Chains A and B, each alone.
Chain A
Amino acid sequence: GAGVSQSPSNKVTEKGKDVELRCDPISGHTALYWYRQRLGQGLEFLIYFQGNSAPDKSGLPSDRFSAERTGESVSTLTIQRTQQEDSAVYLCASSFLREITGELFFGEGSRLTVL
C-alpha cells in the first residue's frame, strides 16, 4: 500500500480483556516500530523489528504486552488483560533502513480505550 496501515482505528474494550492491534507496513520497508502515545504526551518506544533479526522488546512496559512480525510483513501488537492505564494511541511506523539514517513513516494509529 501507499502508506502504513493500522487497524482497528478505534477500539473500546473492558478491563481484563485481550486486544490485538494490527500494522501493515509500507511494502519493502524492513524495519517496523510500535510506539505508544498517551494523551498529551510524546511517543513512547515499545518494540522494534528489523528483518529476521531478534526484535528489540526493551520498551514493552509489562509482560502483558507482546508483538509479532512475520518476515517483513504484517505485525500484531497484543495486550493481554488490559488495564485502564493501557488507554492510549498505539502508533506503528516503518522504515527502509540501509544505514541508520532511515526516516520513520507512521500510520494513523489505533486508539485504545479501556473502560
Chain B
Amino acid sequence: GQQLNQSPQSMFIQEGEDVSMNCTSSSIFNTWLWYKQEPGEGPVLLIALYKAGELTSNGRLTAQFGITRKDSFLNISASIPSDVGIYFCAGRRAGSYQLTFGKGTKLSVIP
C-alpha cells in the first residue's frame, strides 16, 4: 500500500540537541499519529493529532498536524540517550480504519 514520505531516514545527534523529523503525503489525512519503536518491541504511541493545525506536546515531544492535512512533524527537545529508536509517522484517511505508515526515522543519540 501507499507509504508516507518520512525524513530524514536516520539521524545521529549529540545528547542535548533538538531533533526534528517530518512526514508528507500526497493524500489528505484526518489523523496523524507518531510512534516510537525500540529494538525487539512493537511501536508505542507517542502523540495523536486529530485536527489540522493542531499542535500537541508530550513532555519534550511536540508534534503538529499540518494545515494542508498532508504533513506532520515531530520535534524532540534536549535529546537524551533513551530517545534512541525508530520513530514512525502514521496517517489515517477520513472514513478509513487503516493506518498508513512512514518508513521510519532512526535516531541515534551520542552521549
B-facing residues in A54-109 (Cβ within 8 Å): 56, 59, 91, 93, 97, 100-101, 103-109
**A103 and B41: CB pair below 8 A?**
no
Please give, as numbers and ranges, the residues of chain A lying within 8 Å of B31 by CB-CB distance: 100-101
**B97 and A48: CB pair below 8 A?**
yes
- What separation, in Å, do the CA atoms of A10 and B97 have in the docked complex? 28
- What separation, in Å, do the CA atoms of A100 and B96 have in the docked complex? 7
**Number of residue pairs across A and B with beta carbons under 8 Å?**
61
**B101 and A42: CB pair below 8 A?**
yes
Size of B's binding interface in residues, CB under 8 A:
30
**B102 and A109: CB pair below 8 A?**
no
Nearest CB on A from B4, distance (A): 8
Please give, as numbers and ranges, the residues of chain A lying within 8 Å of B101 by CB-CB distance: 35, 42-44
**A104 and B45: CB pair below 8 A?**
yes
Question: For the complex, is B95 an interface residue (Cβ under 8 Å from A)?
Answer: yes
Please give, as numbers and ranges, the residues of chain A lying within 8 Å of B44 by CB-CB distance: 106
Please give, as numbers and ranges, the residues of chain B lying within 8 Å of A4 by CB-CB distance: 42
Please give, as numbers and ranges, the residues of chain B lying within 8 Å of A21 by CB-CB distance: none
- Nearest residue (CB) in A for B88 is A42
- What separation, in Å, do the CA atoms of A42 and B37 have in the docked complex? 11
Per a CB cutoff under 8 Å, which of A56, A91, A103 touches B45?
A103
A-facing residues in B36-60 (Cβ within 8 Å): 40-45, 48, 50
As a 0/1 sequence over residues 1 to 40 of chain B, the CB contacts with chain A under 8 angstroms (1 = contact) are: 1011010000000000000000000000011010100001
Could you show 11 A-B contacts with beta carbons less than 8 Å apart?
Answer: A35-B101, A42-B88, A42-B104, A44-B1, A44-B101, A103-B33, A106-B43, A107-B42, A108-B40, A108-B42, A109-B42
Question: Which residues of A does B touch, CB under 8 Å?
Answer: 4, 31, 33, 35, 41-45, 48, 50, 56, 59, 91, 93, 97, 100-101, 103-109
6 A-B pairs closest in CB distance: A106-B42, A43-B101, A42-B103, A42-B101, A106-B43, A108-B42
